[in-house]
Amino acid sequence: MAAICLTAVGVAAAPGQVFVVCGLFIVGGVSVGAFHPEAAVRAGTLLPGNRTRGLAIFMRGGSLGLSLGPLLSGIVVDRGGLDGLIYLLPAMLVVIPVLCWGARTRGGAETEVSPTRRVSVKEMFDGRIGFAISLLVICSFRLVPNMGMSKVIAFTLAGPGRGFDEQAMGGVQSLFLISASVGMSLLAMLFPRGWERRFMVACPLLGVPLLAVWGWEGCPTWLLIAVLIPTGLVLWGTTPTMVSYAQQAFPGGAGLASAITMGLAWGVGGLLEAPFTTYYHDLGRPQLAVWVFLPFVGAAGLAAMFLPEPDNRTGHPVGGADPNAELNGGSDEKPKTGS
């Protein structure tokens, strides 16, 4: 559904077809969002010794796909207009049976918890709904620039004095996302177990001065492009740590925790940045939107300092009691977290 809807947007983009285009975006977006949470849970169990490394490998694939997207779409739109997007559909459809075949033949990783009954959202979150909301806010704030930078890049490079065409802008956006893939590759190879919270604190704070370069309207184009590489590494390449932290914090609801940090937080981040990005684009000064992004990122890093370190065995804060121990039926057996 995602492949069909999102490639059909160009065909439907015509005067009087606003509702059709919006419908395609909604259905396509929901289809994409429905896949990721459970896929992230499975990816987190692939490397039992280090959940974050498994998630980094999974999310690196998504980042590579995103990095190719602007480049391919830029080439297609530059040569054939928006209608040309539909020609990408066959290549996307070929991947689906391959994915289904791989899931069947390999059987996938065993899920960590095999519930025998339907559990409530409160039980999935171990009664810590407030903590889950706090985590959502922190992750959403941290993702504000992730959601807005691709648009700021396009608006800025297409502006007066820079004059990039669609293909060139797609190439720069791809560079930003490829750097994110490199960051995730480094996480997959080198991430020290148990450092998720530290990364959630340090990386947003390191991203503040890097983003500030993009807020400088007189910055040379070469420097704007060059700073995208460390920015992608620090801000986007380390996002698997958020998902891993959430899965460890809520082992009984790992899928829902993944949905918060991989889906809902990205959506909220997009809602937060969209009005500012649009406003400054309408003013003809899109780079100023970055100055609005900075407080969100800084607040995310500072707030993450107060997050507890999850117990690798139970997922609960170190030294804290399990508020729903009775949910395990008095059993001494604890679900394995794999990290």
pLDDT of residue 330: 42
Q: What is the DSSP letter of 111?
A: P
Q: Is 197 helix (H, G, I), strand (E, B) or coil?
A: helix
Q: How confident is the model at residue 45 (pLDDT cuts 50, 70, 90)?
A: low
pLDDT of residue 112: 46
Q: How confident is the model at residue 334 (pLDDT cuts 50, 70, 90)?
A: very low
Average pLDDT estimate for 29-36: 72
pLDDT of residue 2: 76
Cβ pair 4, 89 in contact under 8 A? yes
pLDDT of residue 111: 45
pLDDT of residue 110: 47
pLDDT of residue 278: 94
pLDDT of residue 120: 64
pLDDT of residue 119: 62
Closest-CA residue to 241 (of 52, 49, 40)? 52
pLDDT of residue 277: 95
Average pLDDT estimate for 181-196: 80
- Helix 144-157 and helix 265-282: axis angle, to 10°? 30
| Range from 32-41, 64-73, 238-247, 314-323 that averages highest in pLDDT | 238-247
Q: What is the DSSP letter of 165?
A: -
b/e map 118-153, b = 16+ CB within 10 Å: eeeeeebbbebeebbeebbebbbbbbbbbbbbbbbb
* Residue 249 CB contacts under 8 Å (≥ 6 apart), including other chains: 131, 135, 257, 308, 310, 315, 316
Query: Does the pLDDT value for residue 254 go beyond 80?
Result: no
What rounded mean pLDDT belongs to the chain?
78
pLDDT of residue 10: 72
Cβ pair 331, 44 in contact under 8 A? no
For 189-239, what is each residue's pLDDT tens digit? 777 778 889 999 999 999 999 999 999 998 999 999 999 999 999 988 888
Closest-CA residue to 40 (of 26, 28, 57, 27)? 57
pLDDT of residue 109: 45
Domains of the chain: 48-81+122-321 (1.20.1250.20)
For 274-305, what is each residue's pLDDT tens digit? 999 999 999 999 999 999 999 999 999 999 99
